[in-house]
Amino acid sequence: MSLPELKRPLVCHIPVCPFSQRLEILLALKGLSDAVDFHVVDITRPRPGWLLERTEGTTAMPVLLLPDGGVIKESLVILRYLEEAFPEPVIARRDPVERAFERMLIAHEGPFTACGYRFVMNRDPDARDAHVERMLEEFGKLDAFLTRHNPDGTYLFDRFGLAEAVFTPIFMRFWFLEYYEGFDLPQTADYARVRRWREACLEHAHVDQVSREEIIKLYYDYALGAGNGALPEGRQVSSLVFTPHWSARPWPPRDKYGRAATDRELGLLAG
Ligand code: GAZ
């Protein structure tokens, strides 16, 4: 396929990618899901030529293609662009100080995401405890920030806003830590504030673009240390493929440190 002439901005994305779910959540909050078109890219195959031409060779998704030829990369930048290009209803904070606090919390997302990502991809059982500790440290930082800025509230401010759109997809991906690592936040006062935030984020009406089952099944290869559509040893088909559809596949084994499941056991062979 070649790129048709665009009438509206086009987001090229990988379904189930947390970075593109942020954009979907923001548009849903605004009631503007139709303002932007989405084009699905298969992460297990090489990117189409028309896309590489527009991105000048970079492969990370999401990218936003503008009708005038412009290209916007990086989910947080695209998020900001959408907030400003479609200003009503406002989702990000307007007050300069509140905006700064919002951005400070959002600045935690990189280390937070990377920490969970390294944890799920770890292959060394002896390193597990250290990963748990680092993950709790990251949750602890979020707890401290929320406690400082809104001790009695649920969200960072009075409602689900930009920071929540940024973090919720990551909280959802971290269901894989619960499934493959048996990791969850301890039920202690130390994490009560971030737990309350996370629960409200996960229950919000506009975050239903992906399900827990889809995440667990598609991210199996991450749990084996193979990210971004790479193939674990001995396998022919990535757990991130579109067909067979995830809903038709069995749940993967929880034990990521034991024997890895085969393509057949994972329901990845068509027919
Ligand atoms: N900083 C970029 C942004 O837009 O915010 C990151 C974009 C990105 O890494 N996109 C990935 C990609 O396109 C797909 S989503 N990779 C292919 C390529 O060619 O670069 C899941 C995670 C995670 C990190 C990444 C992903 C994921 O840690 O789904 O949870 C397992 C990749 C939480």
Ligand 1 pocket, 18 CB below 6 A? Answer: yes
Return the CATH number at 154: 1.20.1050.10
In the three-class reduction of DSSP (H, G, I as helix; E, B as strand; rest coil), residue 173 is classed as helix
Asked if residue 249 is part of any domain, the answer here is: no
Tell me, yes or no, whether 18 and 49 share the same domain.
yes
Q: What is the pLDDT of residues 144-171, one digit of tens each?
A: 999 999 999 999 999 999 999 999 999 9
Q: Which domain holds residue 53?
A: 10-85
Helix (H) or strand (E) holding 37: strand 37-40
For the full predicted model, state whether its pTM sits above 0.85. Answer: yes
pLDDT confidence of 271, banded at 50, 70, 90? low
Please check the confidence at residue 210 and state whether its pLDDT lies above 90.
Answer: yes
Residue 234 domain-assigned?
no
Q: Name the residue at shortest CA distance from atom 27 of ligand 1.
A: 17
CA distance 171 to 167: 6
Q: Identify which of 228, 238, 240, 256 to mutate to test ligand 1's pocket (most ligand atoms within 8 A of the CB).
A: 228
Region 188-204 average pLDDT = 98
Please answer whether residues 235 and 190 qualify as being in contact, where contact means their C-beta atoms are separated by less than 8 angstroms. Answer: no
Do 193 and 103 share a domain, yes or no?
A: yes
Q: Ligand 1, atom 1: nearest CA belongs to which residue? A: 74
61 lines ligand 1 (CB under 6 A): yes
**Ligand 1 centroid – CA 66 distance (Å):** 21
Tell the residue number behind the tokens 């189930």, with chain if given: 16
The answer to whether position 162 is within a domain reads: yes
Atom 26 of ligand 1: nearest residue by CA position? 17
Give domain status of residue 229, yes or no.
Answer: no
CA-nearest of 269, 249, 215 to 15 is: 215
List pLDDT tens digits, range 174-194: 999 999 999 999 999 999 999
Phi, psi of 62 (to 5 degrees): -85, 155
Residue 219 lies in a domain: no
Per-residue pLDDT tens for 47-62?
999 999 999 999 999 9
Q: SS3 helix, strand, coil % of the chain, rounded to 5? A: 45, 5, 50
Q: Is 219 within 8 Å of 239 (Cβ atoms)?
A: yes
Between 244 and 42, the more confident residue is 244
Confirm whether 167 is domain-assigned.
Answer: yes
- Residue 208 has a pLDDT of 97
Q: Is the same domain home to 103 and 183?
A: yes
Q: What are phi and psi of 194, to 5 degrees?
A: -75, -30
172 lines ligand 1 (CB under 6 A): no
Task: Burial-class residue 12 by CB neighbours within 10 Å (0-12, 13-18, 19+).
Answer: buried
The yes-or-no answer on residue 115 being catalytic is no
Confidence of residue 217 (pLDDT cuts 50, 70, 90): very high
Same domain, 54 and 117: no
Question: Is residue 105 included in any domain, yes or no?
Answer: yes
Question: Which CATH number do you get for residue 25?
Answer: 3.40.30.10
Domain count along the chain: 2
Q: Which tokens sit at 92?
A: 């990000």
**Cβ(228) to ligand 1 under 6 A?**
yes
CA distance 31 to 105: 25
Q: How far is residue 199 CA from its own chain's centroid?
A: 16
Residue 5's pLDDT is 83
